[in-house]
Chain A
Amino acid sequence: MTPRPRLAVWKFASCDGCQLSLLDCEDELLSLADAIEIANFPEASSAISAGPYDLSLVEGSITTAHDAERIREVRRQSKFLVTIGACATAGGIQALRNFADINDFVAAVYASPQYIQTLATSTPISAHVAVDFELRGCPINKLQLLEVITAYLAGRKPAIAAHSVCIECKQRGTVCVAVQGTPCLGPVTHAGCGAICPAYRRGCYGCYGPMETPNTAALAALLKSQGASERELLHAFRSFNAGAEAFAAQSRKHEPAAGGESP
């Protein structure tokens, strides 16, 4: 038997949901383990074998100096490095600190903030090391994760579309909620979830981050014409992918200092 490619799963600041997606592949997990050697996946196995690894899946963002060092070591140990989820690709919800005073944030949670060692920012993996592929979503779609792993095993590019959630609503046959007046980030949001929110009678809230070349200004104008306040626009673009450049830039236009209403 030829040696199987070696898989490692790494965690940084995150909720564990994206690596859990691998264990949620209930029908595929055991056969996946036949095709690939799970060499380092502490959430699932006590057997940890040393690197190098052929494929590393990285969950979470960089929020401590120690983790900034650790990701460099992970990169050194990994032939192909894939980030999984909004934390690893855009800094996650914890990147809201990037727009605030970190000392104020820490003091709000801890009685003795001087004991807490954390960076002022939450940054994506790509801000620290080269990344070979970024899989989006908060959380990722487990079927897309299987596609990325399968593509890696087959030596091809993963078939992951970069268009908007709108296309997925059409594919799903969901009646557009935006035209009915529900605030929806679908027109600027990266596909991949399968357009769940509009199918559940609510607007997309952008948890897959910006699509390729999103027209956020046009969407902001539409939302405003539907009655959204500057503060609502600020929060709409500043959530689970607050650190993604297109959303960060649009959110800044709705800050009180930028002419938006005070919150």
Chain B
Amino acid sequence: MSTETRNIRVDYLARVEGEGALDLHIRDGRVSSAQLRIFEPPRLFEALLRGRSHAEIPDIVARICGICPVAYQMSAVHAIEHAFGIHVAGPLRELRRLLYCGEWIESHALHVTMLHAPDFLGFDDVVQMARAHGDRVRGAIALKKAGNHLIQVLGGREIHPVSVKVGGFHRVPRRSELLPLAEELKRAQEQAIELLRWVSGFEFPDYQRDYEFVALRHPDEYPFNEGRLVSSGDIDIDIADFDREFEERHVAHSTALQARLRRRGAYLVGPLARYALNFDRLSPELQSLARDAGLGPVCRNPFQSIVVRAVELVYACTEALRIIDAYVEPEHAAVDVAPRAGVGYGCTEAPRGICWHRYQFDQDGSVVEARIVPPTSQNQPSIEADLAAVADAIIDAPDEVIRHRCEQSIRNYDPCISCATHFLNLTIHRP
């Protein structure tokens, strides 16, 4: 056994959203510590929301993330409506699902094609990859564009869409605006199936971990906006009871608040968790596509998350087509909203996993207190556990090989560091 001490560092992680670094310490042939350091500066959203009107929240929280603004808008409007005793149903509810389909498509297609796939094929980026795999890359980019186009039509623009409001929308689309999108989405659905076949043929490191998966679960839908919070352990709770099972810890010598299960520590949110906990909510056709792609009903290999994202891409295209086909223009773009004092909870499935919000309002509907738990701060303990485990498995390999494998492990999670960083800051020291 080697007795040397090795430190492997990556000073600026590439192809992730936000600013992070990686520190791995190896002693006596074992990983002694694996740290994902986040140096993204905090923007203090929970503080700046205080005193603002409920009506401003969807626009403000969108700015937490340029890649998944819809997730923040959706969790927020559901929490606000919960506090005010409003329930949005019918075509308005369907339009919210449709908007979320757009976000899953653009975000997953961005990650699968531009950020993650180059890892498996040995390229630095999508531009380089396009020189060797031009048609596939162009198809995947068209898929991403279809997702963005959907958000643009519903929300006015791809990034920080403007149409979402408490109670519904400022403006809802005409049926005639959605029909041309259906044509584009049919092509996108085919491109997603192509993409699924392509990525399922990649070579995946042989690695599995027994994660505790956490996701929403709805009686009859693959989850976007609603459901109970369930886990592959024994958790099955209302989203309002989040604090009973989960805690955010401020670790000693660390400026990170990390979300953990009170009873069991690290857990996993995101595509692998959603898929494992909701496989039976996928259509038989989609289940069989997943099986053809080499997936069982549960996937515990994080490197295969790229395949699960591709399955979800097919799902989002299919669901969007279903909604557009059945769409009936609602009479009103939003239901009436009467603010009242109280507390409301919202939890929706961002592309990267559950995004949990809690707001307390005073009687005129101004924010007294806001709490937001984004997916990446929940996954951070799992990311670090993966880093230690994957590096241990190839400990005798040259530093460069270990470094690449670790970077790839972080990208498995599609981490959204800007999102996480009103909770995470600067250097994380773990004992």
Contacts and interface: CB of A to CB of B under 8 A. Distances in A.
Interface of A: 11-21, 23-24, 26-27, 29-30, 33, 38, 41-48, 63-64, 66-67, 92-94, 96-97, 100, 104-106, 108-112, 115-118, 122, 138-139, 141, 193, 196-197, 199-202, 205, 207, 232, 235, 239-240, 263
B14 A118 contact: no
B255 A196 contact: no
Interface in B74-112: 106, 110
B47 A64 contact: no
A197 B169 CA distance: 12
Nearest to B66: A17
A240 to B, nearest CB: 7
Nearest to B250: A111
A218 to B, nearest CB: 23
Contact of B162 (A92, A112, A202): A202
Contact of B141 (A29, A46, A106, A117): A29
A67 B110 CA distance: 28
Nearest to B42: A118
A22 to B, nearest CB: 11
B124 A15 contact: no
10 contacts: A13-B40, A42-B12, A45-B15, A46-B125, A93-B63, A106-B47, A108-B44, A116-B42, A116-B426, A141-B157
B114 interface: yes
A105 B12 contact: no
B65 interface: yes
A205 B170 CA distance: 13
A109 B170 contact: no
Given A13-B41, A16-B65, A118-B42, A110 B257 contact: yes
Contacts of B128: 45, 47
- In this complex, which of B13, B18, B44, B171 has the most chain A Cβ atoms within 10 angstroms of its Cβ? B44
A156 to B, nearest CB: 26
Contact of B56 (A108, A202, A235): A235
Contacts of B217: none
B67 A16 contact: yes
Interface string B35-71: 0000111111111101111001001100111110100
A20 B114 CA distance: 11
Nearest to A201: B171
A63 B45 CA distance: 14
A202 B250 contact: no
Given A15-B66, A139-B66, A44 B125 contact: yes
Interface footprint category on B = 35 or more
A33 B114 CA distance: 14
A43 B418 contact: no
B357 interface: no
Contacts, number: 194
Given A109-B45, A118-B41, A235-B52, 8 more contacts: A30-B130, A43-B16, A45-B14, A108-B46, A201-B170, A202-B162, A202-B171, A235-B56
A125 B323 CA distance: 44
Interface string B132-162: 0000011001101100100000011111101
A16 B17 contact: yes
B145 A17 contact: no
A127 to B, nearest CB: 16
Contacts of A92: 43, 63
Contacts of B18: 11, 16
B236 interface: no
Contacts of B51: 263
B353 to A, nearest CB: 17
B126 interface: yes
A30 B127 contact: yes
A26 B43 contact: no
B43 A93 contact: yes
Nearest to B333: A201
Given A23-B114, A94-B48, A201-B170, A44 B126 contact: yes
Contacts of B423: 109
B301 interface: no
Nearest to B425: A116
Given A106-B47, A202-B170, A207-B160, A111 B15 contact: no
A48 B17 CA distance: 16
A112 B13 contact: no
Contact of B422 (A16, A44, A109): A109
Nearest to B134: A30
B141 A97 contact: no
A196 B125 CA distance: 33
Contact of A193 (B46, B53, B126, B157): B157
Contact of B125 (A47, A64, A111): A47
A139 B56 contact: no
B19 interface: yes
A106 B47 CA distance: 7
B95 to A, nearest CB: 13
A20 B60 contact: no
B45 to A, nearest CB: 8
Nearest to B15: A46
The 8 closest A-B pairs by CB, nearest first: A17-B66, A45-B125, A47-B124, A108-B47, A105-B47, A196-B156, A115-B255, A94-B43
A67 B19 CA distance: 12
Contact of B67 (A11, A17, A112): A17
B33 interface: no
A98 to B, nearest CB: 11
Contacts of B44: 94, 97, 105-106, 108-109, 118
A197 B156 contact: yes
B65 A239 contact: no
A190 to B, nearest CB: 16
Interface string B370-383: 00000000000000
A200 B156 contact: yes
Contact of A240 (B12, B16, B63, B158): B63
B163 interface: yes
